[in-house]
Amino acid sequence: MKREFHIFLTALMFFTRIPIPSFKNYDEKLLNQCTRYFSLVGILVGAISFLAFALSSFLFPTEIAVIWSLVAGVLVTGAFHEDGFADVFDGFGGGWTKTKILDIMKDSRLGTYGTVALIFLFGLKVYTLTTFINFAKGDWLFIFAGFICYHALARTAGITLSFLIPYSREDATSKSKPLAKSFTWKEVFGAYIFGCFSLIFLVTFSLHFLATIPVLMLLIIYSKYYFNKWIDGFTGDCLGAVEQFAEIFILLTIIAVCQYI
């Protein structure tokens, strides 16, 4: 139990900026195992984002409260996944070979493709979240379920890619390399149990929200094909990009369903 707690703390340390107590006997294996709590971290980030929205909604209109919820999410994660999203657009937008794509993604500077992609990403998030909240008509539990689901289930989709294809980089310079070395049934089970919990929470409001499953399956299948084709696998940036795409697709699916229930 103590080791599992250390694995969870490692997940918090790697995937968020939340201060955690130091502990002894840290090793790289913990980082490889912490993916089992990736979706649980998503639940935590979703709860914090919801709290930021709920508190600010008493002072500001919905649109501004939504922006504050996004700010909270970015501050908690350090824009970890958004950074990967932008790097993928820069890399695949400006590179035509595996080596060039990987070199561009490794560059810490933000390019035109990444900048434009982030503008559209946050624009979509603001509009989709605002639309979803308007559909909720003041049902705070429903809104909370939506926040939890779009954060946690998106992380399940992102980490799924690492279970399906190999790590692309041949060197060990990437900070995500330990996540790619190996995984066991515990990592797979953990990633899916917390992701499914968030979806079940949302489905209690309508079974139609199960439509998110085929949508995410299509995203994962296409991402697997696309990244395998161009770079023979995935990188940490690829996982971040899939996670961000999944957030948008989950929100769009929720909105589509809300129009008919």
DSSP per-residue string spanning 45-59: HHHHHHHHHHHHHTT
Q: Helix, strand, or coil here: 167? A: strand
Phi, psi dihedral angles at 96 (to 5 degrees) = -125, 0
CA dist., res. 19 & res. 229, Å (int):
39
pLDDT at site 3: 77
What are the sequence ranges of the domains in the chain?
A: 39-165+178-258
pLDDT at site 22: 72
pLDDT at site 10: 86
Mean pLDDT per 10-residue interval, the chain, length 261 residues: 82 89 68 87 97 97 97 96 97 94 93 97 97 96 97 96 87 55 78 94 95 97 96 94 98 94 74
Is the pTM higher than 0.85? The answer reads: yes
Strand partners, 200: none
pLDDT at site 6: 81
In angstroms, the first-to-last Cα distance of the chain is 43
b/e string for 135-167 if b means 16 or more Cβ within 10 A?
bbeeeeebbbbbbbbbbbbbbbbbbbbbeebeb
pLDDT at site 170: 66
- One-letter amino acid of 140: W
Q: Helix, strand, or coil here: 224? A: helix
Please state, in angstroms and as integers, the Cα–Cα distance from residue 76 to each residue in 18, 47, 67, 70, 244, following that order. 6, 11, 14, 10, 15
pLDDT at site 184: 81
